Amino acid sequence: MQIALVAEGGGQRGIFTAGVLDAWLESDFDPFDIFIGTSSGSQNITSFLSREKGYASRVILGLSCNKRFCQFIRGLKRGNVVDLDWYFENTAEGSFALDFAAARKSLGQRKLLITATNSRNRESYYLTPSGDNNDWRQLLKASSAFPFLYRDGVKLSALSSTNSIDATASRDKVPQGDFYLDGGLSAPLPVRQAYERGARKIVVIRTVNADFNTQATWALKRKRKYNHTYARMIICLIIELSTREIYYDQTNSSPMANHY
């Protein structure tokens, strides 16, 4: 029986996931055959595979909490509110360097899927990194690129049609050269994808309570108060929140997964 780990996103709330995975590293617990991560969940899984206990927490506290990372003034100047370029450049070298070689070694022949949303068709894609460190890093960036905070998303121009597929399209129909956004927009909790991949025991690490209510009505009220640019940002937020409601309703009523 195949066992899957699904890690939800949630930005800095991912520090909870980091703590769970660190405890598993301490206990040498890793029975999984399939890993699926969305947004910060994909970063946490990569950290777990690298066997660097404490790394994910250090990155969250040291980079995402740094004032350089998020500045709304940049958005007023038509720049990126969230500087994912700076963030992921820091994972390439220095004190926040991520050991992709170790992650690749511990992954072995198991499956790793990083969830991202195609900005053109708004469909979810489950992408497997190649042997190149930068490719893996770009997929993590794409999975974390929330629209209008990181304005256009991440262009993935060299997707391998043998490694990258979406939930419904055949392997030879993966869009090449498109821009990709946060996986949470289309698949915030891809439990069904794990089941379709053959997993019959699915462990889900969530970053919100099981009774989470997105309150999309609140966002709709705010939409009327702001200009066109920020209205578009709020519309994207509403889309993600509504998608989350659907996924959470399906997951909570499904026997396919255990939630933690």
Catalytic residue, chosen from 99, 119, 182, 186, is 182
Catalytic residue, chosen from 39, 40, 124, 143, is 39
Specify whether the CB–CB gap between 241 and 186 falls below 8 A: no
Is 124 a catalytic site residue?
no
Nearest by Cα to 125 from 84, 163, 153, 82: 163
- Residues making up the chain, counted from first to last: 260
Nearest-10 crossing angle of helices 100-107, 133-143:
90
- What is the widest separation between alpha-carbon atoms in the chain? 52
Which residues 6+ apart lie within 8 Å of 211 measured at CB? none
Nearest by Cα to 144 from 226, 247, 56: 56
Is 135 a catalytic site residue?
no
- Joined tokens for residue 212: 């989470």
Positions marked catalytic: 39, 182
